[in-house]
Amino acid sequence: MPTVADRRQLSRRLPPLADADASGIERFLDAAWAEHGLSQATLSSYRSDLQGLARWLLDASRPPLAAARREDLFDYLAMRAGAGYSPRSAARLLSCLRAFYAQAVRTGVRADDPCALLQAPKLPRLLPKALSEAQVAALLDAPDVATPTGLRDRAMLELMYAAGLRVSELVGLPGTAVNLRQGVLRVTGKGSRERLVPLGEESQHWLERYLRDARPALLAGARAPAAVQALFVEAGGGAPTRQAFWALVKRHAAAAGIDPARISPHGLRHSFATHLLNHGADLRALQMLLGHSSLTTTQIYTLVARDRLRNLHALHHPRA
């Protein structure tokens, strides 16, 4: 199976984007943002997917993106499958293409939808990977809080676990999102939906220490520290990226004796949800805390909250 490096080398050999394709992609993204309020992360993924297809069509001397045929899309999906892309990646790509060509039909750019008979691959139902409560405690204790960066890392990890945040939500938090007096956090999630999440005493404690001791030290070299609006900052100003947070989670996991291959930043969100259910949280309340638009998304956590199910069975079953 080709490696990630092989796929990157393939993408470097593809031709540059045609002007018509580039403008068509941007028009679609602008309309998708205006009509559906898609997040910047989703728009970025859609842009990457459409640009990849457009370059492949041009390299293969096929019709341009707006005029692609069903067989072109089928061949492109088959090529990606052969290059080792996952079924989940193919499903996301197909979702993007359906939205793109549906808009092309609505706006009269083309008369037919080439995605009409394309079927999404069947995806395995992946269970969230949650850490144990002991592992979470070890991870939270790993940063060296004697340094400004370590204190910031501790506050970020504590907040992510206490509030069940997505990585993009965490690194994108403005300073105004936190109300320590009331003990709540205002989070802007997917689709620009806002939710209020209560903070625990531990996360409040570390946030207060970070804001008092670490953030001013990290901003000491910034040209205009008062203009930095991000809650969490790098040395000299600017918010950490999702990739930077991923790296620090892996680093602290290794220091805590946790296999870095078994943990991801999203794993803290999964741990938040699983541990709440294990301790008796209501599923509807968990939906609100996680910012899920549908309860169906939240229900997957009942499959991993085994401790709570065992306790319920032992407490209520006559033969337990």
Q: Which amino acids are annotated catalytic? A: 166, 190, 266, 269, 292, 301
Specify whether the CB–CB gap between 142 and 256 falls below 8 A.
yes
Specify whether the CB–CB gap between 52 and 92 falls below 8 A.
no
Which phi and psi (to 5°) does residue 114 adopt? Answer: -70, -10
Within 10 angstroms of residue 58's Cβ, the number of other Cβ atoms is: 18
SS3 10: helix
Q: Which two tokens stand for residue 160?
A: 């992510």
- C-alpha distances (whole Å) from 7 to each of 10, 121, 276 are 5, 21, 40
The alpha-helical segments, DSSP class H, found in 239-305 are 242-255, 265-278, 283-290, 295-299
Q: Which two tokens stand for residue 199?
A: 């903070």
Q: Which two tokens stand for residue 244?
A: 């930077």
Give, rounded to a whole angstrom, the gap between the first and last alpha carbons of the chain. 49
